[in-house]
Amino acid sequence: MDKNLEKQFRAIVGADHFTDAQEDLLCYAFDATREQYLPEAVLFPGNVQEVSAVLRLANARGVPVVPRGAGSGFTGGSLPLKGGLVMAMNRFDRIRLIDTDNLVAEVEPAVVTAKFQDAVEKVGLFYPPDPASYTFSTLGGNIAENAGGMRAVKYGVTKDYVRGLEVVLASGEVVHTGSACAKDVVGYDLTTLFVGSEGTLGVVTKAILRLLPLPEAKQTLSASFSEMGAAARTVAEIIGRGIVPATLEFLDGASLRAVEKHFGMGLPTDAEAFLLIEVDGDQAGLDRSLNRVRSVCEKNGALEVKVARQKAEQDELWRARRAVSPALRAISHYRMNEDIVVPRSKIPEMIQRIQQTAEKYGIPIISFGHAGDGNIHVNVMAGPAGEADLPKMKKAVVEIFEATVALDGRISGEHGIGLAKQPYIGMNLDAPTLALCRLLKKTLDPNNILNPGKMFPSEREAL
């Protein structure tokens, strides 16, 4: 970047909020993937006017801009693939309003998800989206990826809670979508367009979020099984009976043993599948709901069913679930973490196909995730050969994607497409649909400065 242009960017955000020091750039060159791309500079705007001025100048000079929250994504969405600027949104960290009368909140994008959840719960309200990274991921990042989480089976995902947005376009124009109203059909639904757009269409500077009353109580049940098929059938039957738990999570045997080995939580390591189920709502109805879930688990041959009624017991179970990813990282440095989703009724067949792929290539494939909504986190791992297994791992991922699509599923449920899944997006989107997506991108960002090179491959590269 030439010195004159650098000087102009510094003038917009202030010298203290612009850096091109090598040690600073390295901190913004990576995310949760193993990829690394160095930006030319990082800046930290402090208000919407500064975001607008930065984008207006970048657009005029053709400088790539990558909006960034906590950088916790799994698909490379916040990587500065083309260099240019990283626009770190750290200073947009205020909860502006919690409206207890209308059940909405107004927030800035750098608010950490857990901090926001705690704030609304203190006034008796509830924000359900809870990605595994909720203790450090930001609301802006959740919006960019349309994050889900464990409670999606009952409560939905981020897009179900975004009522309106303030967004700065590539041109520097500031637009406002939606409103705090429960009903709003004025114009196109632009809010949903920006949710899940991975920073390719605009920079979110404010969000209006829908809230719910905080459930009166919750109870947690765990069930272990001798084989994954029985657990998968249990999930399908629970939903088929019209029971809608707040969460319905599963871990396979390898996940259980990995967590127990590294964290020693007393999990049943002799089991091949483990379900973690939480029901919430009015205190009076909880026991009935829990008994119905227990009945389905026992009918399908559960080895053991336990109910955790005390908060400390519940927290320990959820700590075990959230410990899976760190435990897997300790097993192998070479891991491909995918988040496929299939219709719930097809979970048993999908699990069977994943196991067949693992046997075919002779590598560990460890599965866990959100069984209640069909979202399976498939971790394709290297075996003893380590890095030499990478070609087999890549082939296994493609076969898992193919099986997913054959079962009417999608190659990503909540991690997004970013860079990692870009070559495979054509498995789910046909050519006319991809063309429309590219047209939308070109319309809102004609000079392709916003997070360029993400989501959509060139036409000749699309599968």
**Residue range 295-324, pLDDT digits in tens:** 999 999 999 999 998 888 899 988 888 889
Nearest to 92 by CA among 74, 68, 76: 68
Crossing angle of the two packed helices 324-331 and 311-322, in degrees rounded to 10: 40
User: Is residue 204 within a helix (H) or strand (E), and if so which, with residue range?
Assistant: strand 203-210
Mean model confidence pLDDT for the chain: 94
Position 118 scores a pLDDT of 98
* E strand spans, 227-373: 247-252, 273-281, 304-308, 335-341, 365-370
**Could you give the residue ranges of the DSSP H alpha helices within 302-407?**
311-322, 324-331, 347-361, 390-406
User: Is residue 166 within a helix (H) or strand (E), and if so which, with residue range?
Assistant: strand 162-168
Residue 460 has pLDDT above 60, yes or no: no
Nearest to 354 by CA among 369, 346, 366: 366
pTM of the model: 0.94
Nearest to 329 by CA among 261, 418, 375, 272: 261
> Between 252 and 34, where is the model more confident?
252
**Residue range 239-287, pLDDT digits in tens:** 889 889 999 999 999 999 999 998 888 899 999 999 999 999 988 888 8
Q: How many CB atoms lie within 10 A of CB 283?
A: 11
**Residue range 345-372, pLDDT digits in tens:** 888 899 899 999 999 999 999 999 999 9
Please, are residues 317 and 276 in contact by the beta-carbon 8 Å criterion?
yes
Position 458 scores a pLDDT of 67
d(CA 141, CA 129): 12
**Residue range 40-69, pLDDT digits in tens:** 999 999 999 999 999 999 999 999 999 999
3-state secondary structure (DSSP) of residue 68: strand
- Taking residues 220-226, report their average pLDDT: 96
Please, are residues 356 and 367 in contact by the beta-carbon 8 Å criterion?
no
**Could you give the residue ranges of the DSSP H alpha helices within 28-89?**
48-61
Please, are residues 81 and 202 in contact by the beta-carbon 8 Å criterion?
no
Task: Identify the DSSP state of 298.
Answer: H
Residue 422 has pLDDT above 80, yes or no: yes
Task: Specify whether the backbone of 220 is left (phi greater than 0), alpha (psi in -120 to 50) or beta.
Answer: beta
Residue 462 has pLDDT above 80, yes or no: no
> Whose structure tokens read 């519940």?
314
